[in-house]
Amino acid sequence: MEMVEIQTWLFQIEPLERESLSHFLGRFRRANDLTPTGLGKAAGLGGAIARWEKFRFNPPPSQQQLEALAVVVGVDVDRLVQMLPPTGVGMKMEPIRLCAACYTESPCHKIEWQLKVIQGCDRHQLILLSECPNCGARFKIPAVWVDGWCHRCFLSFADMVKYQKFYR
């Protein structure tokens, strides 16, 4: 009952293709002016939202947790699962990585960039960036990617594409 009430006042947003959970949660929270704690409360998930935004999936989100989140964000559990690393596939919490060419086409952080087995973007044949190629700053967690630029030197993610090297 409580959940139904919540849904009526929350804005829903469409997940982007291959978007990671961290990036999606950040966009959802900003659309609804919620902190990680606020969203955690609304979904009955406590501190899990803040952990997930940092890609801390140990222990992995349970089916029950995903169902609770699905109700609040208005996205199916199956779709939420696509924002997570596939079962049994190792992922890196850091560094946060970026294919600037992908970001230009669809401005979001993709979950596959954090998978250990992935070194490059197979769409663009480019090696992923692990830091700003201009100033060396590490990328922040995708949940706080708002402007699409380096938080230190303001080089736009789109402009970083020219620093990306092709792999073979």
Residues 6 or more apart from 93 whose CB is under 8 A from it?
54, 55, 56, 114
SS3 124: coil
> In this structure, are residues 110 and 84 in contact, taking their beta carbons and an 8 Å threshold?
no
Among 68, 102, 111, 128, binds Zn ion (CB under 5 A): 102
Residue 42 CB, nearest distance to Zn ion (Å)? 34
Query: Which member of 134, 138, 144, 149 binds Zn ion (CB under 5 A)?
Result: 134
In the complex, the smallest distance separating the C-beta of residue 132 from Zn ion, rounded to whole angstroms, is 3
What totals of helices (H) and strands (E) does the chain contain, helices first? 7, 2
Stretch that binds Zn ion, among 28-36, 49-57, 110-118, 150-158 (CB under 5 A): 150-158
Q: Which is nearer to Zn ion, 47 or 136 (CB)?
A: 136
Helix (H) or strand (E) holding 121: strand 120-121
Options 96, 99, 111, 141; binder of Zn ion; rule CB under 5 A: 99
Asked whether position 27 contacts Zn ion by CB under 5 A, the answer is no
> What is the C-alpha to C-alpha distance for residues 118 and 168, in angstroms, rounded to an integer?
13
Contact residues for Zn ion, defined by CB under 5 A: 99, 101-102, 121, 123-124, 132, 134-135, 137, 150, 152-153
